């Protein structure tokens, strides 16, 4: 869940293990996979809904429903998921209302793909899969097997992004689960095929809403889904199906009087319990936001260059979280990035270094911008030469990067930084970059 994260309301944002923003490429498309009922077999996967009404598999007694449910649990774990829970396919009426209200309040500004029509569609399982009866909610633990010790002066990356792109990983596993179900003798004996459609956080489903209703976890005041065993270090996925499965009940748990996550947020993004202003969230600023980062938020970003885990790190529930037993996560070479190297790498170097990871979502220019902000906050004068090259027009970097390099130089200060700013002012033609240079010189 990112978790992308913007945690703007319980369950009403697309998927968020803390510190992450959804990293899909084409947001409006929504679907991640379809398995049409009534088709010739499990290998026919399409990108649009089947035209014919899915043929429902309807176990008629509690024993057969229980057998189906037990099978789903077993197969989900066999394909690599840590948690599985089921809810019905009723509309998410309350979550829809909250999501639409947050859009009206402007808290989702900067996410042009997060529209009211998308919310309405994503809260209507029947619209996503005609004949839907159940939603299988899945959780994948990504918590590293060792304590996260911050490296002074290095760029920090949210834990979920320190490995393979989870979108592909989750979709492959959900596809394997659907195929395993479709080929099982229980389904073959029913003489029909399964109708299913699966999603991760680049689709329209409100994944935390589904996870909460299914009892996968409860909502924390930072907007994350918290599980008793894994805390909030979970990636979420959903399979909408026409199978009639026994649903789970929501957990009767909450955070009580604990509010540790709220004052811990350095940009004050958690404006009320369960309400996060997306526009102030470090995850949004470092990943989804493509323009100039507001000056008043830069210092609070610290040395985070991709996502943020702070509201998870302070959460008491996460102290007892189980470590992930999955080699796809926890790459140590991605936990602490050399900021000067990040600023000065070419686009080709960037692609080679981060290919196949969620970090690609921020793009080369975005990560250079983030490196500038982090270098300014670290305040090490050894970064001045690299920032001086970055702020100069002759360095060939985009105006967006030059703007933030100017801010970093002004924050570090000293005669060398000032000389670099004076020199850059003489040749800068971009008004936004020039404004940043003047502001930095005025510090």
pLDDT digits (tens, 9 = 90+) for 393-414: 999 999 999 999 999 999 999 9
The C-alpha atoms of residue 175 and residue 168 are separated, in whole angstroms, by 10
Instruction: Indicate which residue of 14, 201, 277, 309 is catalytic.
Output: 201
Q: Is 242 annotated in the active site?
A: no
pLDDT digits (tens, 9 = 90+) for 268-298: 999 999 999 999 999 999 999 999 999 999 9
In total, how many domains does the chain have? Answer: 2
Task: Identify whether residues 273 and 323 lie together within a single domain.
Answer: yes
Instruction: Enumerate the H helices of 151-274 as residue ranges.
Output: 166-182, 185-189, 207-214, 261-264
* CB-based contacts of 396, cutoff 8 Å, min separation 6: none
pLDDT digits (tens, 9 = 90+) for 214-265: 999 999 999 999 999 999 999 999 999 999 999 999 999 999 999 999 999 9
Task: Identify whether residues 266 and 374 lie together within a single domain.
Answer: no
Task: Identify whether residues 305 and 321 lie together within a single domain.
Answer: yes
Beta strands in 133-287 (DSSP E): 134-141, 155-157, 196-199, 218-219, 225-226, 234-241, 270-272, 275-276
214 phi and psi angles, rounded to 5 deg:
-80, -10
Task: Identify whether residues 342 and 320 lie together within a single domain.
Answer: no
pTM score, whole prediction = 0.86
Task: Identify whether residues 191 and 296 lie together within a single domain.
Answer: yes
The pLDDT-based confidence of 189 (bands split at 50, 70, 90) is: low
Task: Identify whether residues 168 and 279 lie together within a single domain.
Answer: yes
Q: What is the dihedral of CA 311, 291, 155, 380, to 10 degrees?
A: -120
405 phi and psi angles, rounded to 5 deg:
-65, -40
Reported as half-sphere exposure (CB side, CA atoms, 13 A), residue 288 has a value of: 27
Task: List the domain range (segments joined by +) for residue 326.
Answer: 1-337
The C-alpha atoms of residue 269 and residue 8 are separated, in whole angstroms, by 9
With a cut of 70, say whether residue 313 has pLDDT above it: yes
Task: Identify whether residues 206 and 345 lie together within a single domain.
Answer: no
Reported as half-sphere exposure (CB side, CA atoms, 13 A), residue 137 has a value of: 31
Biggest alpha carbon–alpha carbon distance for the chain: 80
Residue 406: which H helix or E strand, with range?
helix 399-412
Q: What is the dihedral of CA 72, 78, 81, 84, to 10 degrees?
A: 20
CA angle 302, 308, 309 (to 5 degrees): 115
């Amino acid at each position: 869940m990112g978790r992308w994260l913007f945690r703007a309301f319980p369950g009403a944002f697309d998927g968020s293990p803390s510190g992450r923003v959804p990293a899909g490429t084409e947001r409006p498309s929504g679907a991640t996979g379809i398995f049409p009922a009534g088709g010739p077999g499990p290998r026919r996967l399409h990108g649009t809904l089947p035209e014919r009404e899915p043929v429902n598999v309807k176990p008629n007694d509690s024993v057969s429903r229980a057998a189906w449910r037990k099978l789903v649990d077993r197969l989900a774990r066999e394909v690599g998921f840590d948690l599985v829970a089921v809810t019905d396919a009723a509309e998410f009426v309350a979550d829809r209302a909250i999501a639409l209200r947050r859009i009206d309040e402007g808290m989702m500004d900067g996410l042009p793909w997060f529209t009211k029509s998308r919310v309405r569609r994503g809260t209507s399982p029947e619209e996503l899969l005609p004949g839907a009866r159940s939603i299988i909610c899945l959780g994948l633990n990504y918590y590293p097997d060792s304590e996260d010790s911050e490296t002074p002066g290095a760029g920090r990356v949210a834990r979920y992004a320190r490995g393979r792109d989870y979108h592909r990983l989750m979709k492959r596993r959900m596809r394997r689960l659907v195929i395993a179900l479709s080929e099982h003798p229980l389904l073959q004996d029913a003489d029909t095929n399964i109708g299913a459609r699966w999603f991760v956080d680049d689709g329209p489903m409100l994944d935390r809403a589904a996870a909460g209703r299914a009892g996968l976890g409860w909502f924390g005041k930072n907007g994350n889904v918290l599980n008793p065993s894994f805390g909030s270090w979970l990636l979420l996925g959903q399979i909408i199906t026409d199978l009639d499965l026994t649903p789970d009940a929501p957990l009767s748990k909450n955070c009580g009087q604990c509010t540790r996550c709220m004052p811990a947020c350095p940009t004050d993004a958690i404006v009320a319990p369960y309400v996060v202003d997306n526009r102030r969230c470090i995850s949004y600023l470092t990943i989804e936001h493509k323009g100039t980062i507001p000056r008043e938020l830069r210092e609070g970003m610290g040395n985070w260059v991709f996502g943020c885990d702070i509201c998870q790190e302070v959460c008491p529930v996460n102290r007892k979280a189980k470590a992930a037993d999955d080699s796809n996560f926890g790459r140590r070479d991605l936990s602490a990035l050399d900021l000067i190297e990040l600023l000065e790498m070419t686009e080709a170097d960037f692609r080679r270094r981060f290919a196949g990871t969620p970090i690609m979502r921020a793009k080369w220019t975005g990560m250079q911008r983030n490196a500038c902000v982090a270098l300014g906050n670290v305040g090490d004068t050894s970064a001045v030469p690299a920032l001086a090259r970055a702020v100069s027009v002759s360095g060939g970097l985009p105006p967006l990067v030059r703007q933030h390099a100017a801010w970093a130089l002004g924050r570090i200060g000293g005669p060398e930084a000032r000389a670099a700013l004076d020199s850059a002012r003489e040749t800068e033609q971009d008004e936004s970059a020039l404004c940043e240079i003047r502001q930095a010189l005025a510090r």
